[in-house]
Chain A
């Protein structure tokens, strides 16, 4: 018998669904016999492996480790009787919603059909439902050889007939739909069942002005579902939660980090630069208050005025009339139909409960075959919106696509349509997101299950069905190959190196290609004049207040040799770095930027390059990794040959320099090859 995997998955499913379903396990064809009905040679080789209990991991382990195929044969009808007996005895005095027997068998055993009618009668009387899992499809019948070409044995054919008889007599119309093949079972069972949540009713009154009210009940219809449990932190050795304590201490923002007691603290809020003490009591007294739940219509507006992409909030409510209230039903239906005809929505103020935060949202009409309701979604407040403007794509000549390009995109869309019509004109969606179980939780439960029964094994690979479920459907993937190739030719793309905030140094020093050089030279000239003339006064050495500015000025004044000024600057940088504090690091960055920029301008890279190299070697010893990361972020690398002739580094070396020991190559790439005009600039000087 090969039902092991199915059984395991069904059980594991139940464990994680955390409902109160109880599960028993009866094996037949086992070597031993263990059941209440066994007497003489009756009900032999049938063993009740487990009484009805809420499934747990022991059961999973037993199924995995202890259940071995037996070598005996047993009548599957006998087994069915044992199961019924088990259900009836164990459920005595318990409340239950449903009794169900799942039968996994290949039917390949002789069974005596003489008591079939009695069994069916008992099943019906006890209200027990039945599901069959067979290794072959039931409608294959006896004549066609199903299942790998092997014809069914006589026993199997006979068994199949009996199965049909049982199932049809239990449910005349859909009986056979409860008979599955094993492969069905694996697919069906490997999806972890979602945790069922009973929808919570939210009774309220919809109001329009002061004199029109309709009783309503709201239900959460769509909402991001999360698993019921979360991770807790335990000690790595003992695995005990109690061995760990988290402790929060408060300390003053002084050098000693003086600890203060919680009782000596009060609550406050920031108001820009102000810090406003604001006690809880005062806050509660002064805060905005609402006086109870509300679903009040503020007005009606065209559906087209509500932008789909401006929906906010994390849920969608469906609003019905109360189940037993026909009058409310008619009134609400009047509103829903009026809105639907007029293509309008109600804008409502929604308050969940007393002192809940008010929302403004839209109630859309929704008319289905079986019901009518309002669909409520929250809309943004003014404070929630960000109005960014983006460069226009539309009105730009440069971006006008050619006819070829348009048709290439069109054929891509055609080939990748996920909704297609079959020959009967029925539309079929090949990729329904709302039918995919949340992969995060599927994966989580898969790993939890695996770890629970194999505590020391590494995590298992992703279930293949899950990987497939998240991919472009195979049919579409094949179909779009050719259009994609065409598209590639029509839109030659260069792989864009991810550009992070690289601007800083480049923008600062304007050594980009944007402006003609002549203009730049002029600017420099004027800046000289301006700076020397008024603000800077007389600077004779690199001071500590603004080393970068002093450095720049000194270089421009040319009163000291370049090397000496560099030395003064590096002295200051070292002094600042000695403080090992973010604020000082921040101050160092412009110094190094200026150092680099001035070195490039002067055309002497030696001082800068040797300083940066020695700085790099000292990073680990001095614990300056944080600072180094900032340099990397600003792409302050070595000056390369393209920038200054005397440099001994290629642009590749310079690039490597920062990333060695770092893996973030992409950070540097863009700056290095964008220095073409510096040479020209130097030529002119």
Chain B
């Protein structure tokens, strides 16, 4: 099968690879922070064959994390520190051979540009000139990093340190330095820093057990995921690995999954796919481009006094009557049960309809591995073997109305490098209620003959590719951030984006050859134009220059009052209602029909 890339001549350009996390609705308790500690020894600059050097790969990776942080979590702090350098640069320069390239801070356009400058051959040259390669003392480097954390005056909730290196014995057997580094690493770990090793290809293989096994943090469980991983030889692998670690997993809720009376299992609810959107614009003060704060106030139009939320009530109007409730009542109406997942029962997999989709699924994973994990795991296994899903009632927070989830078992999958590509757990798929399904009237049209279907099969065959969910970038977001980047860096024009959502028409036509024509001949008569406009209804009116507007319908007040009294204003059309509003001087805020009707009714029943 052809790869997706084949359509887009170049190899996927990884540069600017970004991902997004927007819309995270967890309550943040502090900032996340990430320190890249990168080996700058000579070995890092040696590329094998045509592959980029480990250093180059690392810089690409750092860049992509920078840009993704900017897009998705712009409150996170990032730092870039090199060790094994000739030059030193750190506060008071008390650490030799440690070069702080970027302090722990928010990444910005300038920093992205800096990292760009370290990429490729030219970047290696720049690195050589500014930092050089020298002695290695990982202990000092780690110590320097720990100072980075402690100098931050903000509250840090998640602290991570990633070591990028291709040397498994950084101190070349100097046991004193090894010991010092281990000690410093455990100091860091004790203050809550998670240390990861991103080990890169080394001729002869990278042996983690020689030294680094004592430095890095143990994996979350004892399943030894992580340490047994092969070193990364490819940029793609490295990025995948960094990406999986770079974000702290945050559950949107931790709940009890209730299997039945007294059988509760604590689970976390995670979001693994959520549409990233363009962030809202912020208001800046014209004189200094500083952000301004907005304050919203409620006040009384008569007295001008400020109102507290408790001075207000909520109202809906139905059939001309105002129905009043307290704010609390409006909230409590939404309450059905306490937060949790309640098992209703099981259904065979084929009962999960493809088109029953409302919003992105959630991921359910047991919270406490110890005892409870076994029951969930067993359930997971048996559901998967028996091809059934669990139907659950899902109440996320206190006042959220219930939704039903199909819990679909997901077995763990790992790739060749032992990296997890699918985590074990349940996917929670939201099921629609009766109201959410629309009735469509369908008409039966003639169906295709076998020869027609066969011709289409040939077409389908020619245009096959391997779909990957991370193959498409969102062109709208990409363009937006390129624009911002260009403005921030005073570039002449934003970097060009490749729109992967556009069909590569030339390539497709070429592959299809005469097939498209053959299919057309099979299904369409000669005089049929499938691209022709369907009955251009509005055309004539437009052509006439819009002069032929419908004559204005004037309505007498009595007539209107009659309608109001009978409550059948709804039978009138929106333009007529609008005219009526104008006629009687009724102010309307909206343009919805119901709003017009409500306004008119209010006016005429006064």
A292 interface residue, CB < 8 Å from B?
no
Q: Is the CB of B377 within 8 A of A399?
A: yes
Q: In the complex, which of the residues A234, A349, A583 contacts B313, with contact meaning CB atoms closer than 8 Å? A: A234
Q: Is A228 an interface residue (CB 8 A)?
A: yes
Tell whether, in the assembled complex, residue A476 and residue B345 are in contact, meaning their CB atoms are under 8 Å apart: yes
Query: Are B108 and A274 in contact, CB atoms less than 8 angstroms apart?
Result: yes
| Contact A331-B523, Cβ < 8 Å, known A308-B427, A321-B445, A370-B442 | yes
CA distance in complex: A399, B424 (Å) = 13
Query: Is B234 close to A, CB under 8 A?
Result: no
The contact string, 1 if C-beta is below 8 Å from chain B, for chain A 225-250, is: 10011111111100101111111111
Scoring A residues 492 to 515 as 1 if CB is less than 8 Å from chain B, else 0, what string do you get?
111110111101100111100000
Q: 5 closest A-B pairs (Cβ-Cβ)?
A: A329-B445, A391-B221, A273-B108, A383-B20, A56-B319
Distance, CA A386 to CA B325, complexed state (A): 41
Residues of A within 8 A of B484 (CB): 269, 271, 274, 276, 278
Size bracket of the A interface = 35 or more
Once A20-B571, A349-B503 are accepted as A-B contacts, the answer to whether A433 and B444 lie under 8 Å apart by CB is no
Q: Does A296 contact B (CB under 8 A)?
A: yes
Are B283 and A266 in touch, CB under 8 angstroms? yes
Closest B residue to A483 using CB positions: B260
Pairwise interchain contact B313-A239, C-beta atoms closer than 8 A:
yes
With A241-B315, A244-B312 already in contact, the answer to whether A214 and B249 are too (CB < 8 A) is no
B291 at the interface (CB under 8 A from A): yes
Main secondary structure of the interface of A (DSSP, over half): mixed
A213 touches B186 (CB 8 A): no
Chain B residues with CB under 8 A of A205? 530-531
B71 at the interface (CB under 8 A from A): yes
Bits for A470-500, please: 1 = Cβ < 8 Å to B, else 0.
1111001000100010011001111110111
Indicate whether B302 reaches chain A with its CB closer than 8 angstroms.
yes
By a CB distance below 8 angstroms, the chain B residues around A331 are: 448, 452, 519, 523-524, 530
B252 CB, nearest partner CB in chain A, Å? 11
Q: Which of the 9-residue segments B40-48, B199-207, B456-464, B573-581 touches chain A?
A: B456-464
Residue of A nearest to B380 (CB): A393
Q: Please report the C-alpha to C-alpha distance between residue A302 and residue B207 in the assembled complex, in whole angstroms.
A: 40
- Whether A222 contacts B512 in the complex (CB less than 8 A), given A377-B357, A501-B29, comes out as no
CB-defined contacts of A399 to chain B, threshold 8 Å: 369, 373-374, 377
| Given known contacts A53-B568, A275-B289, A312 and B18 CB-to-CB distance under 8 angstroms | no
A530 to B434, CA, bound (A): 68
Is A549 in contact with B313, judged by CB distance below 8 angstroms? no
Find the A residue at minimum CB distance from B405.
Answer: A433
Whether A330 is near chain B, meaning CB under 8 Å from some CB there, is yes
Per the bound structure, the CA–CA distance linking A221 and B284 in Å amounts to 42
Q: What string of 1s and 0s marks CB contacts (under 8 Å) between B251-268 and chain A?
A: 000100001111111100
Q: Find chain A residues with CB under 8 A from B531 CB.
A: 205, 213
Contact with B434, one of A207, A234, A434 (Cβ below 8 angstroms): A434
Q: Does A431 sit at the interface, judged by CB under 8 A?
A: yes
B52 contacts the other chain (CB 8 A): no
Tell me which residues across on chain B come within 8 A of A409, comparing CB atoms.
375, 378-379, 382
- Bound form: Cα–Cα A48–B244 in Å: 72
> Smallest distance from the beta carbon of A225 to chain B beta carbons, Å?
4
Contacts of A224 in B (CB 8 A): 358-359, 432, 436
Distance (Å) between the CB of B341 and the closest chain A CB?
A: 13
**B566 and A54 contact, CB distance less than 8 A:** yes
- Docked-complex contact A327 and B483, CB < 8 angstroms: no
Which residues 449-478 of A have a CB within 8 angstroms of B? 451-452, 455, 459, 462, 470-473, 476
In Å, the complex CA distance between A493 and B376 comes to 11
Give the Cβ gap from A69 to chain B, nearest Cβ, in Å: 26
Q: Which of the segments A108-116, A178-186, A337-345, A638-646 contacts the partner chain?
A: A337-345
Q: How far is the CB of B324 from chain A (nearest CB, A)?
A: 6
In whole angstroms, how far apart are the Cα atoms of A466 and B334 in the complex? Answer: 13
Q: In B421-449, which residues have CB < 8 Å from any A CB?
A: 423-425, 427, 429, 431-440, 442-448
Segment among A150-158, A438-446, A555-563, A671-679 that sits at the interface with chain B: A438-446
* A508, B325: Cβ atoms closer than 8 Å: no
Q: A434-B437, A452-B321 are in contact. Are A330 and B448 (CB under 8 A)?
A: yes
CB pair A417 B319 closer than 8 Å? no
A339 adjacent to B460 (CB under 8 Å):
yes
Bound CA span A412–B344, Å: 12
Q: Are B435 and A496 in contact, with the CB atoms below 8 A?
A: no
Q: How far is the CA of A372 from the CA of B235 in the complex (A)?
A: 45
Complex contact B436–A222 (CB within 8 A) = yes
B290 and A252 within 8 A (CB): yes
Q: A98: CB under 8 A from chain B?
A: no
B291→A491 contact, CB < 8 A: no
Chief secondary structure at chain B's binding surface: mixed
Cα distance A229–B504 when bound, in Å?
44
Mask, B323-346, CB within 8 Å of A = 1, is 111000110111010000011111
Q: A382-B17, A431-B391 are in contact. Are A272 and B111 (CB under 8 A)?
A: yes
* B-contacting residues, A36-68, CB 8 Å: 53-57
The complex places the Cα of A379 from the Cα of B509 at a distance, in Å, of 25
Which of chain A's residues 206-220 have a Cβ closer than 8 Å to chain B?
207-215, 219-220
Q: Is B171 an interface residue (CB 8 A)?
A: no
Report the bound CA distance from A209 to B462 in whole Å. Answer: 12
Q: Is A578 located at the chain interface by the 8 A CB criterion?
A: no
Cα–Cα distance between A380 and B357 once the two chains are bound (Å): 14
Minimum CB–CB distance from B321 to chain A (whole Å) comes to: 5
- Cα A583 to Cα B154 in complex, Å, equals 8
Interface residues of B in 88-128 (CB under 8 A from A): 94, 105-112
Determine if A229 and B318 form an interchain contact, defined as CB atoms under 8 angstroms apart: yes
B401 touches which of A233, A379, A439 (Cβ 8 Å): A439
- Additional A-B contact list (18), CB under 8 Å, known A236-B313, A393-B369, A396-B221: A221-B438, A266-B286, A299-B463, A310-B469, A311-B361, A338-B456, A349-B502, A357-B476, A383-B18, A389-B419, A391-B369, A393-B380, A393-B425, A409-B378, A436-B434, A484-B260, A508-B190, A523-B183
* A302 to B461 CA separation, bound complex (whole angstroms): 11
Closest chain B CB from A525 CB (angstroms): 10
Measured in the bound complex, the distance between the Cα atoms of B494 and A147 in whole Å is 80
Task: List which B581-605 residues lie within 8 A (CB) of chain A.
Answer: 594
Chain B nearest CB from A59 CB (Å) reads: 9
Q: Are A381 and B474 neighbours in the complex by a CB distance under 8 Å? A: yes
CB atoms of B371 and A492 under 8 A apart: yes
Check if A309 sits within 8 Å of B356, measured CB to CB. no
Nearest Cβ distance between residue A337 and chain B, in whole angstroms?
4
Interface status of B488 (Cβ within 8 A of chain A): yes
Give bound CA distance, A348 to B330, whole Å: 42
Tell me whether B369 and A431 are in contact (CB under 8 A).
no
Chain B contacts with A in 188-244, Cβ cutoff 8 A: 190-192, 219-223, 225, 240, 243-244
Q: In the complex, A496 Cα to B299 Cα: how many Å?
A: 47
| Segment with Cβ contacts to B, from A131-139, A358-366, A656-664 | A358-366
Q: Cβ of B285 and Cβ of A260 under 8 Å apart? A: yes
CB proximity of A565 to chain B, nearest CB, Å: 19
Task: Give the contact stretch, choosing among B53-61, B408-416, B540-548.
Answer: B408-416
Q: List 16 A-B contacts (CB under 8 A).
A: A56-B320, A223-B436, A224-B436, A242-B301, A248-B296, A250-B285, A269-B282, A271-B108, A288-B499, A301-B464, A333-B445, A338-B456, A393-B376, A413-B388, A438-B433, A491-B374
Flag if B434 contacts A438 (CB, 8 Å): yes
B50 within 8 A of A: no
A15 touching B279, Cβ below 8 Å: no
Q: How far is the CA of A15 from the CA of B549 in the complex (A)?
A: 35
Known interface pairs A221-B440, A243-B302, A501-B157; A299-B314 also in contact (CB < 8 Å)? no
B354 at the interface (CB under 8 A from A): yes
Q: Which of B129-137, B160-168, B270-278 contacts A (4 or more CB under 8 A)?
A: B270-278
Within 8 A of B (CB), among A269-292: 269-278, 283, 286-288
Judge whether B398 is part of the interface by a CB distance below 8 angstroms: no
**Are the CB atoms of B284 and A268 closer together than 8 Å?**
yes
Interchain CB contact (< 8 A) of B479 among A211, A287, A443, A480:
A287
Closest approach, in angstroms, between the C-beta of A538 and any C-beta of chain B? 15
